[in-house]
Chains A and B, each alone.
Chain A
Amino acid sequence: MSVRYAPVGWNRNKIIYDVVVLAAAVAYILLYIKIAPGFQDVTKPTSGAILRAQAFGTCAFLMLTFILCIGPLTRLDARFLPLLYNRRHFGVITCAIAFTHATHVVSIYYSFSPLNKYVAVLASNTSYDRFLGFPFETFGIFALFLLLVLAATSHDFWLRFLTPPIWKAIHISVYVAYAAIVCHVALGSLQSKQSPLLAVIVGLSVVMVTGLHLVAGRIERQKDRNTAESAEESTDEAPWVVAGDVESVPDGRGIVVPLEDGERVAVFRYGDKLSALANVCAHQNGPLGEGRIMDGCVTCPWHGFHYRPEDGCAPPPFTEKVATYRLKLDGRRILLDPRPNEPGTYVEPVRVAPPSVTEA
């Protein structure tokens, strides 16, 4: 959390994260251009500039594949959550590598002619009316443009300036960029390769990205259904809905309650108190209900943003706020008023008997 904008709020974990990502990228590129050529079965070696363009291009594609898998992986296994923490740096590094690929390509294929090299990129191949020979570079340019926009707006300043919904809507276009890159590779490099390896890797990438998202989505829906079924027992006390049993909320943690309108509410228990907040973090829409109570605050599992459970406000000097919800008890059942309060509205916590302690 930060109230003052700095280029990067470095900490040890961010440094380790970036070092690992850079190590993976450097290892990939060095192996591709320095070691692998010694093992190629070729009459004469591939031109160095083309080899570098290939290395940076394939590296960016693989890194983008990994980035897109992080989200659904965190839904399948919470141990992947730390990968989300600094995912934006991963994205910026990927964008830089994709940009390097593009500069290599422009300097090899489009320079040294009477035509301006950037004009040549668009003018050299105009076979838009056919599949084979389609100017696949167009997809690459489009994808690079999107990646540059995402990298340029990745800082929290832009998140605040654009507001989280708009920022998120812009950044979801990373999937469009990925689709464009798949088309770029499929209509370009794949058509020229004699070895099926690249085709297999691209295919696996598409299967992994779409498959993980589908599986994670299915599990999410199943979780919602299970929660809804466990709270199926209705109440006549309109507009209250049953959120679950007191025992279903572990101390220091929360449960996520899906509402009929598609919203989700995070119900937290901390000691003998229960409070309910919107499940969506004001920072990057992280799932608050999967967070923990730390230092008396609900802590987002994505970037550690804090909110007081009673009023949904980040503790001073921070200013983020989320909506709160009213709770009440019906015996051991937790009832939730599904109408959200204005973000930051104080709601008196519901008191429950503390968890029973059994001594051995």
Chain B
Amino acid sequence: MAGRARDPGFFVGYLNSVPRPLAIFLVVGAAVLVGGMAGLAFALGTNVNDPGDGTFARKLGKQEMSGILLEKPYPILRVRPDAKNPEARTVMLTVPGKRSVKRRGRKLFDQLVDVKGFMFQRGDIDMLQVQGKNSLKAVEVAEGEAPPEFTPAPAESLGRWRLIGEICDSKCHLGAMRPGDGLAHKACANLCISSGAPPIFVTAEEGAVEGETFLLMADQDGGPLPDHFGDYVAILIQLEGEVERLDDLLVFKVDIDAAKVF
């Protein structure tokens, strides 16, 4: 054949013999294929995004805390300070799976409750996964004793903020999945949030609001986000709204429809 320097031989698959020049070529080709795939695996497998330090902190053991259970914007616990944790704090709540605390806590909202479970932690934000039998119940008062009293501090307004960042579901972003952000994770985040996981706004600039990067999201009236929130999850957006402080947790109250998409 014109232009072909040397005849490599004719290969017929069902004949077991392969012409020697062709056999050499194929052995080299097979080595290149296997070696090339191995090289690409190493290159792609090492070039991954840093998923952050979010973790399911099972090693901390089962946590017990009591406080006021709030339903809005998403289930949170205003934790009552005690001898072990003298600082007031507010913890987002979840349950195992992509489900909401709402079902288990429906008769307990705005009451003082005892909660048990395991923590998700990322940076200085955490979340309690309510887990186990009787892990969410009204505080029990011994006969003859006065019920404990606890009034959480009122929300402190930090003014209006214009922030750039990404809406994530708190559970995955805090360690249920690594990575728990980005477009590859969008559908999962949508499903988690619509199933009851509190959405958080992760600012592009670290510590953008009073040193905090993660803000619990709410609509302008302090309720949950509208149903079409999913269009804005996992993409870089700019949102404007009032930021409130609930102890150590910031809440970002926004009109999601005013989001500017980059």
Contact = CB atoms under 8 A, between A and B. Distances in A.
Contacts of A193: 47, 49
19 contacts: A11-B13, A24-B37, A39-B46, A40-B46, A41-B46, A43-B50, A47-B51, A47-B178, A62-B37, A124-B188, A124-B230, A126-B230, A127-B230, A130-B231, A132-B235, A136-B183, A195-B49, A294-B10, A301-B10
A279 B154 CA distance: 85
Given A43-B50, A46-B179, A125 B41 contact: no
B177 A47 contact: yes
Interface stretch (A112-120, A257-265, A321-329): A112-120
A81 B30 contact: no
Interface residues of B, number: 64
Interface in A74-128: 78-83, 85-86, 108-115, 120-121, 124-127
Contacts of B195: 113-115
Interface string B230-242: 1111110000000
A3 interface: no
Interface string A181-207: 000000111011111011001000000
Given A36-B46, A62-B40, A78-B4, A20 B178 contact: no
Chain A interface size range:
35 or more
Interface string B182-196: 111111101110110
Interface of A: 1, 9, 11-14, 20, 23-25, 27-33, 35-37, 39-47, 50-51, 54-55, 58-59, 62, 66, 78-83, 85-86, 108-115, 120-121, 124-127, 130, 132-133, 135-137, 187-189, 191-195, 197-198, 201, 291-292, 294, 299, 301, 303-304
Contacts of A59: 37, 41
A86 B192 CA distance: 44
A39 B1 CA distance: 49
Contacts of A121: 187
Contacts of B183: 132-133, 136, 187-189, 191-192
A133 B42 contact: no
A125 B183 CA distance: 11
A201 B191 contact: no
Interface in B2-51: 4, 8, 10-16, 18, 22, 25-26, 29-30, 33-34, 36-38, 40-51
Interface in B82-125: 96-99
Nearest to B178: A47
B48 A42 contact: yes
A108 B177 contact: yes
Nearest to A45: B178
Nearest to B33: A24
Which 8 A-B pairs give the minimum distances between C-beta atoms? A36-B45, A192-B182, A113-B98, A112-B97, A109-B188, A31-B41, A85-B13, A124-B187
Contacts of B188: 108-110, 124
Contacts of B179: 46, 50, 192
B50 A42 contact: yes
A348 B109 CA distance: 95
Contacts of A83: 29
Contacts of A112: 96-99
B261 interface: yes
